[in-house]
Structure 1
Amino acid sequence: MQIDLTGKVALVTGASGELGRTMSRTLAQCGADIAIHYKGNEAKAKSLQAELEALGRRAVAVQADVTKLDEVLRMKEHIAEQLGTVDIVVANAVIQYAWTTILEQPAEDYTSQFESCVLQSVHLTKAFVPGMVAKKGGRVIGINTECVMQNLPTQSAYVAGKRGMDGIYRILAKEVGEHQITVNQVAPGWTISDRDRENNTEQNEAYSQSVPLKRRGTDQEIANVVAFLASDLSSFITGAYIPVSGGNVMPSI
């Protein structure tokens, strides 16, 4: 048994970022052709495109502001011209900001998280799910966070945006399930990425001690779950929120 995405087209938003690059590589290694979304980092997106093409995959780097529907629709048309209909959507892009208390957090940070978590999800649905309906199948995967279960001080804007995203995906799973489209969320813990490896910041004892597995997870471990959810091996899983956090958060029944 293996994950085989041969013949599938996957879109990863925020693909030029730390986790996005690893998810894109992993989906490509499983056989998918990749639409590499970026907002501002064209150089990294183009570098990733060349890397994936060297694997024998078709790849295209496409720029868009995913908080704007017209730009997402333009991105869809460009991907369709280059790769065809998207079978797998991975909503990974998010706006970065400085975390602080609710009393001090600027209102615009709540707006940015709503736009990049909730509206991105809505725009991607409107642009790409109709093609999945026509093909009678597809995968929508949202990258959420363990923070929505932690609710720790200074997390408010991020948690508010990601909790709104959670509502969108749970409802979408019910609305499109009859078309054999699955809709799931992967919720990473505090993940080790290339930036940590370069800066020797992989270890954080205080955080690791709170995790049952006593370590931070890696970007590859997150990407592995995304690849599973993108594949036929997960064909009867939908509406799920799956923490990949070493047990740091545990949804209850």
Structure 2
Amino acid sequence: MPTTDLSANQARNVLVTGGNRGIGLAIARAFVDAGDNVVITHRSGEPPEGLQGVTCEVTDSASVDAAFTAAEEIFGGPVEVLVANAGITRDTLLMRMSDDDFDSVIDTNLAGAFRCARRAVTGMIRKRRGRIVLISSVVGLYGSPGQANYAASKSGLVGLARSISRELGGRGITANVVAPGFIETEMTAVLPEEQKKAYLATIPAGRFATPEEVASVVRFVASDDAAYVTGAVIPVDGGLGMGH
């Protein structure tokens, strides 16, 4: 029988898209702290201190392929864990949402994850093992006014992960979705105090999560302990979206 577990005692090659800030950065640092080899993708500038990075535009298949090739050269082997985190928002009410507002968010958040997963599995299939973790959002399950584009892109990741699971589960490859709720990041830090209170009132846990709490869940679903978990949607939302 093929070996499906990733060795807990061996450093793995981990690629985190959009790993230069916020949740993506916390995820990247969590894997580094665990002793894994980590490369992040970023669209411009330099990678954060202590991390290796490659530039990547996830809306462009050629750019995705070049980023993976560059990461494989750094690793000296294929990507074994992909965390597809890169994403954008263009929030506006449905009647005011332009085609470009909708298309650009779908192209980055959903099609971008597809492009990265498609490129990643070529190496995973050869090794007969791999982990794909797609970073969604509670909004993808719960919906949100002014975020029809974002919610559609994030809910689409569920179908993507489950289709990958059915196609490649027999090759030792898992694909799961982690769906964060409100997280303490630069984006939530600038919210007006009254808006923060309104959000907090809807969260049973009574607080926002830290990026590190999301990173811990991502590391779990990429671990040996989660070898039999695939096609799952794991909320990290303090109970906000329960039942969805």
Residue 191 of structure 1 aligns to a residue whose secondary structure is coil
Measured in 2, the distance between the counterparts of 1:206 and 1:121 equals: 32
Q: Decide which of 7, 16, 38 is 1:12's aligned counterpart.
A: 16
Per the alignment, residue 56 of structure 1 pairs with none
Q: Deviations over 1:112-140 (max 9, x none)?
A: 12111221122112211011111111100
Q: Partners in 1 of 2:8 and 2:200 — Cα distance?
A: 33
| Alignment CA distance shift 1:221-1:10 (3 Å) | same
In structure 1, give the amino acid aligned to 2:89: Q
Aligned-residue offset at 1:197: 6.4
Match of 2:237 in 1: 245
One-letter amino acid matched to 1:62: V
What is the CA deviation profile of residues 40-84 of structure 1, one whole-angstrom value per residue up to 9, with x for unaligned ones?
2x23x1xx2x424xxxxxxx3100101111111111111111112
Residues 1:128 and 2:120 aligned together: yes
Q: Deviations over 1:204-231 (max 9, x none)?
A: 2211111111111110110000011111
Decide which of 31, 34, 57 is 1:30's aligned counterpart. Answer: 34
Native 8 Å contact 2:133 2:221 kept in 1: yes
Q: Provide TM-score, normalisation by structure 2.
A: 0.90
CA contact (8 A) 2:41 2:56 kept: yes
Structure 2 residue corresponding to 1:87, chosen from 76, 80, 85: 80
Choose the corresponding residue for 2:205, options 193, 198, 213: 213
Aligned to 1:174: 166
What is the alpha-carbon distance in structure 1 between the residues aligned to residue 73 and residue 180 of structure 2?
Answer: 33
Q: Pick from 48, 57, 72 the counterpart of residue 65 of structure 1.
A: 57
1:234 CA drift (Å): 0.6
CA contact (8 A) 1:173 1:182 kept: yes
Counterpart amino acid of residue 7 in structure 1:
A
Partner of 2:220: 228
Corresponding position of 2:141: 149
1:156-195: per-residue Cα shift (whole Å, max 9, x none)?
0101111222211111111110001110000000100266
Change (3 A) 1:199 1:111: closer
Aligned residues: 236
Describe the shift of the 1:96–1:153 C-alpha distance in structure 2 as closer, same or farther (beyond 3 A).
closer
Conservation of the 8 A alpha-carbon contact between 2:178 and 2:217:
yes
List alignment gaps of at least 5 residues for structure 1.
Answer: 53-59
| Counterpart AA for 1:20 | G
Which segments of 5 or more consecutive residues in structure 2 lack a partner in the other structure?
Answer: 1-6
What RMSD, in angstroms, separates the aligned Cα atoms of the two structures? 2.1
- The one-letter amino acid paired with 1:18 is G
Deviates more, 1:114-123 or 1:22-31: 114-123
Bigger shift: 146-155 or 83-92?
146-155
The answer on whether the counterparts of 1:13 and 1:36 sit within 8 Å (CA) in structure 2 is yes
Q: Distance in 2 between matches of 1:185 and 1:138?
A: 15
| Partner-residue secondary structure (3-state), 2:30 | helix
Q: Which amino acid aligns with 1:19?
A: I
- In the alignment, the residues of structure 1 paired with residue 236 and residue 88 of structure 2 have an alpha-carbon distance, to the nearest angstrom, of 21
| 1:178 alignment partner AA | G
Q: Is 1:21 aligned to 2:25, yes or no?
A: yes
